[in-house]
Chains A and B, each alone.
Chain A
Amino acid sequence: MYLNIIFLPFLGSFIGGFFGRFLGPNGSAIVTTSCIGFSCILSMTAFYEVALAGCPCYIKLAPWIDSELFNVPWGFLFDSLTVVMLVVVTFISTLVHLYSTEYMSHDPHLPRFMAYLSLFTAFMLVLVTGDNYMQMFLGWEGIGLSSYLLINFWFTRLQANKAAIKAMIVNRIGDFGLALGIFMIYIFFQSVEYCSVFAMVPFFADQKVCFLSLNCNLLDAIGILLFIGAVGKSAQLGLHTWLPDAMEGPTPVSALIHAATLVTAGVFLMARSSPLLEYANGALSVITVFGGMTAFFAATTGLLQNDLKRVIAYSTCSQLGYMVFACGVSNYAVGVFHLANHAFFKALLFLSAGSVIHGVSDEQDMRKMGGLRRLLPFTYAMMLIGSLSLMGMPFLTGFYSKDVILEVAYAKYTIPGHFAYWLGTFAAFFTAFYSMRLAFLTFLSEPNGYRPIITNAHDSPIRMALPLAILAVPSIFIGFIARDMIIGLGSDFWSNAIFVHPKNLNSIDAEFIPHSMKLLPVGLSILGASSAVIFYSYQSQALYTLKISELGRKIYTFLNRKWFFDKVYNEYITQKFLSFGYHTSYKTIDRGLIEIFGPMGFSTVVMKKANLMRELQTGYIYHYAFFIFIGTGVLICLSLLDKLTLSFIDYRILCLLVATAFASRQIKTSL
């Protein structure tokens, strides 16, 4: 049963991908969706067995890499953390599969699309179930690959190509960090298996290592390298640029990959490595600071985006920041809880956005929508539920995890903790603001779209509506239901899956922080939401004046252009690399130095020398005898050179002689 969870998606992907042309669009849709569906049912059973009944499952399947000291088996580890991820991934994946069958029904390549989706799910499952870093890395790269394929699904679109390549390359930086981290783990722990590594961590607590000629703590270095991987995959500040661009992919892809599952891989990695990170206080501080900055940055950027999906993408980015700094303040359980909650309401938001886009003939610019609440009432309701949950309105799902994150960050009583708290709190304000702005521009304001689009707008058919309706339920209730189980004080839900060092444990402190600090995030959220409503309903003229004023324009441009991250990257890094790649490494070294000395020069010289040497083979027997005679003589002479004489013959001089032998003809001819 456990293995089927992983292999069913692979099977679905294989059949749908390679036999799609025989099965047809409907056939492959049925095959892939049912495979994922079964996988989802099995995951829920696994959740019951592992998390609720408390019996983790550990399967050693087969040896994978078996090379003397380096052993990596195919091992599958099902503990609480894994099964939470399993349920989230397969549940949302099933719904997205179902949704895609309708959303993509007009695409001629539906089988391919379904196969990619299944492939993605399968690799995600490999990532979360692996019992060692290698297998995790396999899944990590696998989801990167399928993300590339899915973003680039409409491969005739230039923007899609660019976005896909960008996603791939930016992720490569993160993957490089992660790979370095794994290498370092292997070098010091001689193993990449979680159980061996985590058991050995306390012994390395004070180990120093010289990394890039910096003398630092080993665990800090590993933690930060792993975090760089997470930065890439989870779109944290610095490597976040690919995520908004990835919205070029079809909307179900955005919902599944770039909101609910793939991007949470980094958070999962942090939670999975908790026994290691707990001893790396430096790394934890870095993680906290980065998470807080990401949350704030993405929220402000999302404020003034005009593309419907981009707003949600930035909101994803921002929420990932929350999860990451939750991990940074050692509350992995809270981070994972927020991950799960966020997956539900963000998938709901994205699928609703897809429904909107589907309804208005693939228009994505919010400024050209408006007034859709009467035309798409169902989608409007779903979107509103998602948005409210996202901004953390009390008693909706988002509220239960987001507020706890901010509380534990405050209760850390450290500088990074408070830094993250304040940034997160302000981000909550902005989140509420842009969520309402989105709802307002899309649904509530006066219609701004073209007439034919508005008149043809329609609510989604059942196969798209059903996933929305299903997702709305957990978006409202799951936080309330699961709260005590997952992050309640003293809950044994996580058993050994997540380790929190007693020194870092602060969930009790979080109960005793000042009330004002507890209420501040919710207050700011409500303030943000209501101010958005007020501004957009009654004061739109004031907003407009603000926008065209000198300062307002600057702020608008700054936020709308994403704090100029892309511009800086393109102009100061990418351009330099490109010009280095073309002018230096390609034109000067590759086509210049190597070609002249290598293929052209070397081959000519070798041929000439070969001609010379061929003349030695005369065919006369007395020459041959002479040759043998000389050879014997040389060997005897060599034997007569004793050690003293030999020490005068420096091999560097020999090398010089050989080189001269090759060059002599050239020098002569050039003279």
Chain B
Amino acid sequence: MLFINLFENDLKLFLPEFFLVTAILTLVLYGSVYSVSKEYNYPLINVSTCWATIFTLVNTFILVLFTREVSSVIFNGTFICDLLSQNAKLFVIGATIVCLLISIPYVRNYQVNSFEYFLLILLAVFGLMLLCSSFDLISVYLAIELQSLCLYVLAAFNRESAYSTEAGLKYFILGAFASGLLLFGMSIIYGFTGTTNFEDLHILFSLDAENHQAIQTGIIFISCAFLFKMAASPFHVWSPDVYDGAPLNSTIFFAVVPKIALIVIFLRLFVFCFGSQPQYWQYLASFCAVSSVVTGSFMALKQRKLKRLLAYSSIGHVGYILIALSSGGLEGFHASMIYIVTYMLMGVGVWSVVSCLENNISVKRTRTLADLAMISRTNPVLAFSSAILIFSMAGVPPLAGFYAKFCVFTSSINASMYVYSILIILVSVVSTYYYIRLIKTVYFEKVSIKAFYKPISKEISLVLAFSFFFTIFFFINPNLLWLVTYEMVLCVVQ
């Protein structure tokens, strides 16, 4: 190990992470000292911590933005700094900032008074950033555990609610199960290859090693764990319960942020390391893709609660991402990257609509579809933007969602996966049904009980407007996103 390298290069390239950790520690100090100080009369510092968190994240974002490194392996082969990880980090941080912006009104209304909440989010972001640049099975595992532990706590954060604690518990136990699978898979791989480093694995597998059943089993276990974290069917069972039970701001975070990091590590492990043996994982991804789309479409039909419905919808979207991944070519990886980014950008819009509905002091209960019914009267702008966003989720041209779906299906059809593509297209017809039913509820449902909603807060309106305009005008010039995602996937495709 060359220490000169460590200090000359590695620390420089890891500056954003160092900054983030330092900031987290500072915030811990700030919170623990200030919130219990008697002379300030035990102040409530949740909102100020929230803004401090956002500020930290913005700074980290800037640091990442200016740490442009085409590709260099650091910390003795543990992490990698390349365009894939850097761009993915940017998306993670940006999405987290947006999620925090959306949840500020919720924090005020529902009195999420603990400042630790935001520290946990920061730690989760830290874990995700590490995950994005992991280049070793060990660092992958550690990063995943770091972010998962934070997410378990976030899910169970509302201690008074039985749903929330139940969600946290379920998430934790099943997550532990998945971590076990992950470790098991990794140890198999290590046992049969003698290495955990991605570079070594890549070289080993491109030498066209004999088709080793055991390695394939290892890969299956690892991918099961990843699919669990991504909430792909048949490992999705936790997600509706957790999305539903967790407090809304945690749910938004779960739904929007972590997936991209998992896609990145999926690409890095399966495409970069095992890319020369695609038969190990391709069928698996396509099986789960079809299964996810079917589950997402059919189960969502019968949901009454908005959060559950969106949970199933996100399962469906994961299916589209997987079908693109499983096509096994540059085009497919690119399509999956476009899809996940588009999904994140649409997702924040849809979730901010839910957040608007949630900010109603008079009735504290979970939002059902019926709550959408009046918004076309009470807030036509909100109704219109939610309609557009939902149309985009359903994939109606010329909105952004259509474009992403189009890329996905083009890539899978180009890869001759006709049966899967046609099956998924047919099933997505079913999913269109419940999306359009939402719009029908927004515009055409008559309700006798009129609910009153507070005006949308400024932060939410900004996010909503951003998402809305992105969705509508994306098709005019998709080049920016196209190129950014393209340089991301180029990092793993040889």
A607 neighbours in B (Cβ, 8 Å)? 301-302
Given A606-B301, A631-B234: A625 and B283 interface contact (C-beta under 8 Å): no
Residue contact A614 to B302, C-beta cutoff 8 Å = yes
Q: Collect the chain B residues with CB atoms within 8 Å of residue A634's CB.
A: 234, 287
Which residue from chain A places its CB closest to the CB of B283 in the assembled complex? A638
Q: How far is the CB of B405 from chain A (nearest CB, A)?
A: 20
Taken together as a complex, chains A and B put the C-alpha atoms of A607 and B430 apart, in Å, by 10
Determine if A627 and B301 form an interchain contact, defined as CB atoms under 8 angstroms apart: no
Residues of B within 8 Å of A667, CB to CB, are none
Q: Is B237 an interface residue (CB 8 A)?
A: yes
Residues 627-671 of A, flagged 1 when their CB comes within 8 A of B and 0 if not, give 110111011101100000000000100110010000000000000
User: Which residues of A414-441 are within 8 A (CB) of B?
Assistant: none
- A180 to B271: give the CA distance in the assembly, Å: 46
- Segment among B108-116, B172-180, B370-378, B394-402 that sits at the interface with chain A: B172-180
- The 8 Å CB contact of A624, one of B170, B430, B433, is B170
Residues B238 and A632 in contact, CB atoms below 8 Å apart: no
B224 CB–A CB distance under 8 Å: yes
Q: Are B224 and A610 in contact (CB under 8 A)?
A: no
Chain A residues closer than 8 Å to B170, beta-carbon distance: 621, 624
Does B177 contact A625, Cβ atoms closer than 8 Å?
yes
CB of A619 within 8 A of CB of B217, answer: no
**Contact yes or no, B298 A613, CB < 8 A:** yes
- Residues from chain B with Cβ under 8 Å of A638 in the complex: 283-284, 287
B278 to chain A, nearest CB (A): 13
Chain A residue with Cβ nearest B434:
A610
Residue pair B217, A636 in contact (C-beta under 8 Å): yes
Q: Are B177 and A628 neighbours in the complex by a CB distance under 8 Å?
A: yes
Is residue B82 within 8 Å, beta carbon to beta carbon, of the partner chain? no
Given contacts A628-B224, A630-B234, contact A639 B302 (CB under 8 A): no
Check A617 for interface membership: any CB of B closer than 8 A. Answer: yes
Contact A628 B234 (CB under 8 A): yes
Residues A628 and B178 in contact, CB atoms below 8 Å apart: yes
Q: B295, A613: Cβ atoms under 8 Å? A: yes
Q: Which of A617, A630, A655 has the most CB of B within 10 A?
A: A617
Complex interface bits, B108-144 against A, C-beta within 8 A gives 1, otherwise 0: 0000000000000000000000000000000000000
Q: Contact: A611 with B302, CB < 8 Å?
A: yes
Give bound CA distance, A497 to B216, whole Å: 71
Residue of chain A at shortest CB distance from B303: A614
Shortest beta-carbon distance, B273 to chain A, in Å? 17
The reply to whether the CB of B240 lies closer than 8 angstroms to some CB of chain A is yes
Distance, CA A610 to CA B423, complexed state (A) = 17
C-alpha gap A627/B298 in the complex (Å): 17
Instruction: State the CA gap A621–B238 with chains docked (Å).
Output: 9
> Which residue of chain A has its CB nearest to the CB of B219?
A639
B228 within 8 A of A: yes
Of the residues B181, B213, B223, B299, contact of A617 by C-beta under 8 Å: B299
B: interface residue count bin: 20 to 34
Residue ID in chain A nearest B291 by CB atoms: A631
**Does the CB pair B430–A627 fall under 8 Å?**
no
Q: Which of B169, B174, B217, B240 contacts A625 (CB 8 A)?
A: B174
Residues 209-238 (chain B) with a chain A CB within 8 angstroms: 213, 216-217, 220-221, 223-224, 228, 234-235, 237-238
Contacts of A630 in B (CB 8 A): 234
Asked if B241 lies at the interface with its beta carbon under 8 angstroms from chain A, I say yes
Q: Verify if A576 is at the interface (C-beta below 8 Å from B).
A: no
- Secondary structure call for the A interface: helix
CB pair A628 B174 closer than 8 Å: yes
Q: Is A609 part of the contact surface with B, judged by Cβ < 8 Å?
A: yes
User: Whose C-beta in chain A lies nearest to the C-beta of B287?
Assistant: A638
Max count, chain B CB within 10 A of own CB: residue among A607, A614, A621, A636: A621
Contact of B298 with A609 in the complex, beta carbons under 8 Å = yes
Contact across chains for B240 and A627 when beta carbons are under 8 A apart: no
Main secondary structure of the interface of B (DSSP, over half): helix
Minimum Cβ distance to chain B for residue A259 (Å) = 43
Q: Is B4 an interface residue (CB 8 A)?
A: no
- Please, which residues of chain A bring their CB within 8 A of the CB of B287? 634-635, 638
Q: Could you tell me if B298 and A636 are in contact, using CB atoms closer than 8 angstroms? A: no
- Whether B1 is near chain A, meaning CB under 8 Å from some CB there, is no
The residues of B that contact A611 with a CB separation of less than 8 Å are 302
CB distance from B308 to the nearest CB of A (A): 9
A209 to B216, CA, bound (A): 53
What is the distance, in angstroms, from A123's C-beta to the closest C-beta of chain B? Answer: 27
Report the Cα distance A671→B301, complex, angstroms: 27
Is B174 in contact with A624, judged by CB distance below 8 angstroms? yes
Asked whether, in the complex, the Cβ of B174 is within 8 Å of the Cβ of A621, the reply is yes
Complex alpha-carbon distance, A74 and B221, angstroms:
59
Are A632's CB and B220's CB within 8 A?
A: yes
Q: How many whole Å from B81's CB to the nearest CB in chain A? A: 33
- Complex-state Cα separation, A606 to B213, whole angstroms: 39
Roughly how many angstroms separate A617 CA and B223 CA in the complex, as a whole number? 23
Which residue among A603, A619, A631, A654 has the maximum number of chain B CB atoms within 10 Å of its CB? A631
> What 1/0 flags go to A304-344 for Cβ under 8 Å of B?
00000000000000000000000000000000000000000
> How distant is B159 from chain A, measured CB to nearest CB, in Å?
19
Verify B234–A606 contact, CB threshold 8 A: no
**CB closest chain-A residue, reference B422:** A655
Q: CB < 8 Å: which of B174, B284, B299, B419 contacts A610?
A: B299
Give the nearest-CB partner of B232 in chain A.
A631
Assembled-state Cα–Cα distance A611/B302 (Å): 7
In the docked arrangement, what's the CA distance between A630 and B236, Å?
Answer: 12
Q: Name the A residues within 8 Å of B283 (CB-CB).
A: 638-639
Contacting residues of chain B (234-252) with chain A, CB-CB under 8 angstroms: 234-235, 237-238, 240-241
CB-nearest residue of chain A relative to B240?
Answer: A617
Shortest beta-carbon distance from B451 to chain A in Å: 27
Cβ of A613: which chain B residues have Cβ within 8 Å of it? 295, 298-299
A610 to chain B, nearest CB (A): 4
Tell me the complex Cα distance, A110–B92, Å. Answer: 63
Q: How far is the CB of A72 from chain B (nearest CB, A)?
A: 19
Contacts of A631 in B (CB 8 A): 224, 234-235
B37 to chain A, nearest CB (A): 41
Contact across chains for A639 and B295 when beta carbons are under 8 A apart: no
Indicate if the CB atoms of B298 and A639 lie closer than 8 Å.
Answer: no
* CB-nearest residue of chain A to B221: A632
Interface centre among B216, B280, B430 (most CB of A within 10 A): B430
Determine the chain A residues whose CB is within 8 A of the CB of B298 once the complex forms: 606, 609-610, 613
Residues of B within 8 A of A639 (CB): 213, 216-217, 220, 280, 283-284
Q: How far is the CB of B282 from chain A (nearest CB, A)?
A: 11
Closest beta carbon of chain A to B253's beta carbon, Å: 22
Q: How far is the CA of A625 from the CA of B173 in the complex (A)?
A: 9
Closest B-chain residue to A628, C-beta based? B235
Instruction: Decide if A628 touches B301 in the complex (CB within 8 Å).
Output: no
Distance between Cα atoms of A630 and B283 in the complex (Å): 17
- 1/0 per residue, CB under 8 A from B, across A594-610: the answer is 00000000010011011
CA distance A424 to B213 in the complex (A): 86
Are B299 and A628 touching (Cβ within 8 A)? no
A635 close to B220 (CB less than 8 A): yes
Identify the interface centre among A621, A623, A632: most chain B CB within 10 Å of its CB. A632
Q: In the complex, what's the smallest C-beta–C-beta distance from B33 to chain A, in angstroms?
A: 39
Q: Give the distance in Å from the alpha carbon of A603 to the alpha carbon of B302 in the complex.
A: 13
- Let me know if A651 and B224 touch, CB within 8 A: no
Rounded to whole Å, the gap between the CB of A599 and the closest CB of chain B is 10
Q: Give Cα distance in the complex from A654 to B235, angstroms.
A: 23
A628 touches B220 (CB 8 A): no
Q: Report the minimal beta-carbon distance from B209 to chain A, rounded to whole angstroms.
A: 16
The complex places the Cα of A611 from the Cα of B300 at a distance, in Å, of 10
Top-6 shortest CB links A-B: A631-B234, A610-B301, A624-B237, A610-B298, A614-B302, A632-B224
Instruction: Pull 23 A–B residue pairs with CB atoms less than 8 Å apart, ordered by A.
Output: A606-B298, A606-B433, A610-B298, A611-B302, A617-B240, A617-B299, A619-B241, A624-B170, A624-B237, A624-B238, A627-B235, A628-B224, A628-B235, A630-B234, A631-B224, A632-B220, A635-B220, A635-B224, A638-B283, A638-B287, A639-B280, A639-B284, A651-B419
Query: Apart from A628-B237, A654-B419, what are 11 other A-B pairs with CB-CB below 8 Å?
Result: A606-B298, A606-B430, A613-B299, A621-B169, A628-B174, A631-B235, A634-B287, A635-B284, A636-B220, A638-B284, A639-B213
